[in-house]
Amino acid sequence: MSTATLTKKELFVQGSLTTDVAEMIEMLAVNVPGVKSCNVNAVNKSLVLSIDTTKDEGAVINELSSLIKTMDSSLKLTTSIQENKNNSKAQRKSADGDKNVSIILGGLNCAHCAEVIGQKVSDLDEVQTANLNFVNKKLNFELKNASDREVIIERVINIIDTTEPGLDIQVIESKKVKKAQDNKVEMILGGLNCAHCAEVIGQKVEALDEVEMANLNFVNKKLSFELKNGVSRNLVIDKVINIIDTTEPGLDIQVIEKSSSKGNNKKVDMTLGGLNCAHCAEVIGQKVEDLDEVEMAHLNFVNKKLSFELKDGASRKLTIDKVINIIDTTEPGLNIQVHDNRGTKELKLKLENLRCKQCADQIEFEANKANGVKSATLDFGNCILDVELDGTVSRRVVTEEIATIAKNLQHCLNIQVKGISKAQNKALNEKVTKKFDKDKLDKIRLFVGVIAYAITFIQQVWGGNHGHANQDMISTVAFIAVYLVVGGDVLLKAAKNIKNGRVFDENFLITVATLGAIIIGETSEAVGVMVFYKLGVFLQGIAVGKSRKSISSLMEIRPDVANLKIGNDIEVVDPEEVEIGDIIVVKPGERVPLDGIVIEGSSMVDTSALTGESVLRSVNVEDEVLSGFINKNALLTIEVTKDFGESAVSKVLDLVENASSKKAKTENFISVFSKYYTPVVVGLAAIIAIIPPIVIDASSQAVWYDWVLRGLTFLVVSCPCALVLSIPLTFFSGIGFASKNGVLIKGSNYLEALRYVDTVVFDKTGTLTKGVFNVTKVNAVNVSEDELMEYAAYAEANSNHPIAKSIVKAYNKNLDLGKIGEYEEIAAHGIKVNYNGKTVLAGNEKLMKANNVKYTPVSETGTVVYIAIDGKYAGDLVISDEIKADSKEAIAKLKQIGIKQTVMLTGDNKKVADSVAAELKLDKVYSNLLPDEKVEKIEEIYQGRGEKEKVVFVGDGINDAPVLARADVGIAMGGLGSDAAIEAADVVIMNDEPSQIAKAIAISKKTSKIVWQNIIFALGVKVIVLVATAFGASNMWEAVFADVGVALIAVLNAMRAMRMKEEN
């Protein structure tokens, strides 16, 4: 047994410390040499460490500081609380003008004191209502008059200090409230040349009821005024502008907004490629400089460079758009490049209606060659084009160039750029779309071609039966006309592909096959192949489009707008513009746009978009809500806790959209297979067309005719479209369906791996049980129950284990940590501590035996903590955890779907573990395990297993990271709102129900079944047709079916992955 003298050290964190990061610090800090325990208070941003005195304290703190930096580079560890106090004072100072006050009482551990503080604050004459929530240590009160705010806050702080001295008091405000209290407004009145008018304007503005004071400096034409507290900034500005317009019409009025950190780059440089008109250059430079948002502008005609500087508060993006519009109207057709010095950026485009894999490849190829593009990757599965910009060309110019490329290659595309409004996307599509609708024209050509072919074919047959000598010539001409009308674009694409060296393209192969057939006299069959090939591609496109639409509908959870509350005004904005701490309002029927905490109102919310649960959930004040929830029946006011990019809905969408980048082994096989399939079949076609005639009878025209036709038929079957289209589509459909049901699968590889699972390993606490510990029984011996709880609470005070926290919570009194002396944690035994001059032992039976304490073994089901004082047994505490409601059903479902073995790993004692395992009917259970021993047990389970015998580990996603990483598939439970769970696992169950695991495995098996159906069907039909063609038993009609017909059926079959029935 190792012993060590420990010392306590309190440190503080500067920066925004989230609950998730605080938990990770608590968990990982003990890995720093010398740190025996760590308690983190996320509210007052403090750390209480127990440090081994044999270690260098400075070195320990430096290493801990480095660890925290790796979690969040914005955080800084300090030994001083002064900055936190200064922040609190600054917050109090900025809080003027708001009736609602919230104060965090860091270190408040006395429930009775909390009740006294709440009552005293509520009794103040100036306070309307008051409430102190002891759990989150938050005091909320509403003032009768906002003007008394500063005085009352000081009075409340005095009440807190006299009732419970030493608390870390922080007055908290939302960021938007602070912004609204920035009461100073400044305006530039361009063109103001009348001193008397300036004096009149200044007096009128100051006379406004909403204005505290005003001043107009006639020399620099600057009007400054200060608003009174609580007034609407926008409305007052409108009034002031009206005064200026009526007093001195025609002035150039500019409201100066403070520059944000997001837009400090004022200088903009552009190159105007192709500018050869000096006069036009002069006009452009003058027009740009005349813009209200521009400080100065200069256009150098020699190097064709336009430079301009933005005024304070001007929108960089909107101003650039205005400048580009000036250039386009003054001198159309110039190649405009914005030199953006703000680093690499990303651009994401959704190419809706993209149904052609070869078009997708060509779009990706051309996009990579576009100006300003560093790299471009198109995921055909979800039609997302990810573009990395090199910063040399403006985002807008690159967007339009890529949109034009995509539209030219496939005219039916609807291009949606992430991060811009629907109106902007609509305008973009209208701008890059050509004057005529080629898609509609293609449909007309196809319809006319099918009808014309049918008429010509019937006419040929009828003419042949009646012996009309000229009918063959007329029919041939008619067939050729139909061929050109229907297949003209195929011929043009084939010609372009030959020029670019792409000879194994489907357009080229169909062209060669049909032209070859026409040359040898099979005109009717060749035209029929072209017509039905185009018809098949058209129907295939419709099927792919419908499947994409179905997948998209599963994920239509992104909110379009947020109702931002600024003072008493509501402004409708893009969710990406909202910041942490802002206040938003969600009306009944609206989707919650960002993650946050309810600060006003109560309602029922629909969480099905994230969890798959159809039952409505009740939310009240101080409850957490996530983006993607739908508010059903009452107004909710929410304080935002995460930026949109970090919100639940963004992470869900991002995971689903990027899931197809992690390909399954089957997908990789198909990708490799398709590279070799076409060249091999084309090679076989050439062999069949040339070798047999030479061997059989090289002089016979009939022999050559027959074998060349067979070779041409081979070409029609040489494209693996059925597999290339349907396999990724099936996996993506399965992932989309799973996400709709509250199961996030982070890649096709994990979805496929779930199919082969035969062993599911569970962590107990928080996975099969609720993970909420409570002291259910206190057995005191020779001391009172209160004394036993006191000794137990002080013994566990420095531990961050959930059981220790449950004991401290049950004690429910303020702890004076200064009374704790030497402290020692004994691995797998418990704690030894000196409290009030007495040696206290708290732990399991091993601890009692090791210290020769005579104790009474307890037979209760639960975790038992034995307590000894100065070597004498003082009693025990029984701590229990509750099994989740659907854990038993989850295990039963897993066995129903073929899981051979269910295992539970836990650090709890054998009796508790065996009790849980027996109730849930688990096959194996391992107890008394340390974290590293869980990994060892997983390694034992792996021994002797085959490639297709996968192991799944299910944990909480935070404390089980090593085991999650070691398993074939790691599943994190309760990922709803948990960043750590989403990062740690391969699959995330968004709610807290273990029964979802069986659903995930069932979805995997169904998806894999459809994948193999398509592979076997597509390859089977192609092989049959190829063999039959080689022996002369099939023709081009069967070949067309084997190509586009099979692809159409495979795509339709892939759509079934989105329509799985509930497993019984």
Q: Which two tokens stand for residue 693?
A: 């005639």
Q: Which one, of 554, 741, 751, 560, lies nearest residue 653 by Cα? A: 554
Strands 211-217 and 222-227: antiparallel
CB 564 within 8 A of CB 578: yes
Query: What was the pLDDT predicted at 460?
Result: 66
pLDDT surpasses 60 at 81: no
Q: Which two tokens stand for residue 1008?
A: 């894999």
DSSP per residue, 268-334: EEEEEET---HHHHHHHHHHHHTSTTEEEEEEETTTTEEEEEEPTT--HHHHHHHHHHHHHHHSTT-
CB 1054 within 8 A of CB 547: yes
pLDDT surpasses 80 at 302: no
Q: How confident is residue 854, by pLDDT bands cut at 50, 70 and 90?
A: very high
Q: Which residue has the higher pLDDT, 688 or 91?
A: 688
Q: Which two tokens stand for residue 654?
A: 């991002």
* Sequence-ordered alpha helix ranges (H) in 467-572: 471-499, 506-519, 523-554
Amino acid at the residue 300: N
Phi, psi of 569 (to 5 degrees): -100, 155
Q: Which one, of 419, 285, 290, lies nearest residue 347 by Cα? A: 419
Query: What was the pLDDT predicted at 136?
Result: 60
pLDDT surpasses 80 at 615: no
pLDDT surpasses 70 at 544: no
Q: Which two tokens stand for residue 383?
A: 């039609």
pLDDT surpasses 60 at 447: yes
For the whole model, what pTM was predicted? 0.57
Highest mean pLDDT among 110-119, 254-263, 463-472, 1043-1052: 1043-1052
The set of residues, in sequence order, having a beta carbon less than 8 Å from that of 652 and lying 6+ positions away, is 555, 557, 610, 628, 739, 744, 990
Q: Which two tokens stand for residue 173?
A: 């405000």
pLDDT surpasses 50 at 577: yes
Q: Which of 763, 881, 979, 1043 is catalytic?
A: 763
pLDDT surpasses 80 at 942: yes
Please give the radius of gyration of the chain, using alpha carbons only, rounded to the nearest integer.
37
Phi, psi of 380 (to 5 degrees): -65, -25
Average pLDDT value for residue range 368-389: 82
Q: Which residue has the higher pLDDT, 649 or 432?
A: 649
Q: Which two tokens stand for residue 5?
A: 């003298």
CB 597 within 8 A of CB 641: yes
pLDDT surpasses 60 at 1004: yes
Kindly state the percentage of the chain with pLDDT values over 70.
Answer: 83
* Sequence-ordered alpha helix ranges (H) in 943-978: 961-966
Q: Which two tokens stand for residue 702?
A: 């009939």
Using CA atoms, how far apart are residues 534 and 488, in angstroms rounded to an integer? 11
Query: What was the pLDDT predicted at 265?
Result: 58
The set of residues, in sequence order, having a beta carbon less than 8 Å from that of 148 and lying 6+ positions away, is 126
Q: How confident is residue 835, by pLDDT bands cut at 50, 70 and 90?
A: very high
Task: Categorise residue 230: left if φ over 0, alpha if ψ from -120 to 50, beta otherwise.
Answer: left
Q: How confident is residue 958, by pLDDT bands cut at 50, 70 and 90?
A: low
Q: How confident is residue 500, by pLDDT bands cut at 50, 70 and 90?
A: low
Average pLDDT value for residue range 162-190: 65
Q: How confident is residue 177, by pLDDT bands cut at 50, 70 and 90?
A: very low
Strands 987-989 and 6-14: unpaired
Q: Which one, of 258, 253, 250, lies nearest residue 205 by Cα? A: 253
Query: What was the pLDDT predicted at 84?
Result: 43
CA distances (Å), 933 to each of 32, 59, 930, 938, 963, in order? 20, 29, 5, 9, 10
Using CA atoms, how far apart are residues 281 and 298, in angstroms rounded to an integer? 10
Query: What was the pLDDT predicted at 197?
Result: 79
Using CA atoms, how far apart are residues 564 and 544, in angstroms rounded to an integer? 39
Q: pLDDT tens digits for 410-421?
A: 777 888 887 665
Query: What was the pLDDT predicted at 638?
Result: 95
Residue 485 CA, chain-centre distance (Å), reads 46
pLDDT surpasses 50 at 206: yes
Average pLDDT value for residue range 697-706: 80
pLDDT surpasses 50 at 657: yes
DSSP per residue, 115-130: HHHHHHHHTSTTEEEE
Amino acid at the residue 606: D
Query: What was the pLDDT predicted at 264?
Result: 41
* Exposed e or buried b per residue across 763-791, where buried means at least 16 C-beta atoms within 10 angstroms of its C-beta: bbbbbbbebebebbebbbeebeeeebbbb
Query: What was the pLDDT predicted at 549?
Result: 64
Using CA atoms, how far apart are residues 1008 and 1028, in angstroms rounded to an integer? 30
Average pLDDT value for residue range 904-909: 84
CB 718 within 8 A of CB 503: no
Q: What is the DSSP letter of 38?
A: E
Q: How confident is residue 174, by pLDDT bands cut at 50, 70 and 90?
A: very low
Tell me the three state secondary structure of residue 241: helix
Using CA atoms, how far apart are residues 66 and 93, in angstroms rounded to an integer? 33
Q: How confident is residue 636, by pLDDT bands cut at 50, 70 and 90?
A: very high
Q: Which two tokens stand for residue 355?
A: 């149904």
Query: What was the pLDDT predicted at 574?
Result: 80
* Long-range pairs for 850-857: beta carbons < 8 A, 24 or more residues apart: 850/1, 850/826, 856/781
Average pLDDT value for residue range 86-95: 38
Three-class HEC string of 174-227: CHHHHHHCCCEEEEEEECCCCHHHHHHHHHHHHHCCCEEEEEEECCCCEEEEEE
Task: Categorise residue 516: left if φ over 0, alpha if ψ from -120 to 50, beta otherwise.
Answer: alpha
Tell me the three state secondary structure of residue 595: coil
The set of residues, in sequence order, having a beta carbon less than 8 Å from that of 198 and lying 6+ positions away, is 189, 192, 216, 218
Q: Which one, of 454, 717, 510, lies nearest residue 518 by Cα? A: 510
pLDDT surpasses 70 at 839: yes
Query: What was the pLDDT predicted at 320?
Result: 85
Q: Which one, of 82, 83, 128, 132, lies nearest residue 103 by Cα? A: 132
Kindly state the percentage of the chain with pLDDT values over 90.
Answer: 16
pLDDT surpasses 50 at 224: yes
Query: What was the pLDDT predicted at 545?
Result: 64
Q: pLDDT tens digits for 382-422?
A: 788 888 876 656 677 788 888 888 887 777 788 888 766 56
Using CA atoms, how far apart are residues 79 and 516, in angstroms rounded to an integer? 84
Strands 46-52 and 76-78: unpaired
Q: pLDDT tens digits for 771-820?
A: 778 898 999 998 999 999 999 999 998 887 778 888 998 998 888 888 88
Query: What was the pLDDT predicted at 986?
Result: 87
Q: pLDDT tens digits for 5-62?
A: 777 777 877 766 766 677 778 777 887 888 888 878 765 677 888 888 788 887 788 7
CA torsion angle for 191, 192, 193, 199 (degrees, to 10)? 180
* Sequence-ordered alpha helix ranges (H) in 950-1042: 961-966, 979-984, 996-1030, 1036-1040
Torsion sign over Cα 255, 256, 259, 260: negative
Query: What was the pLDDT predicted at 442?
Result: 74
**Annotated catalytic, 269?**
no
Q: pLDDT tens digits for 29-41?
A: 887 888 888 878 7
CA distances (Å), 815 to each of 504, 537, 809, 820, in order? 77, 75, 11, 10
pLDDT surpasses 80 at 1020: yes
pLDDT surpasses 60 at 990: yes
Instruction: For Cα atoms 165, 166, 167, give the angle at the middle one, nearest 5 degrees.
Output: 100
In the predicted model, what is the mean pLDDT of the chain?
Answer: 79
Amino acid at the residue 997: I
Average pLDDT value for residue range 552-562: 71
Helix axes 523-554, 471-499, angle to 10 degrees: 50
CA distances (Å), 295 to each of 282, 319, 459, in order? 17, 12, 76
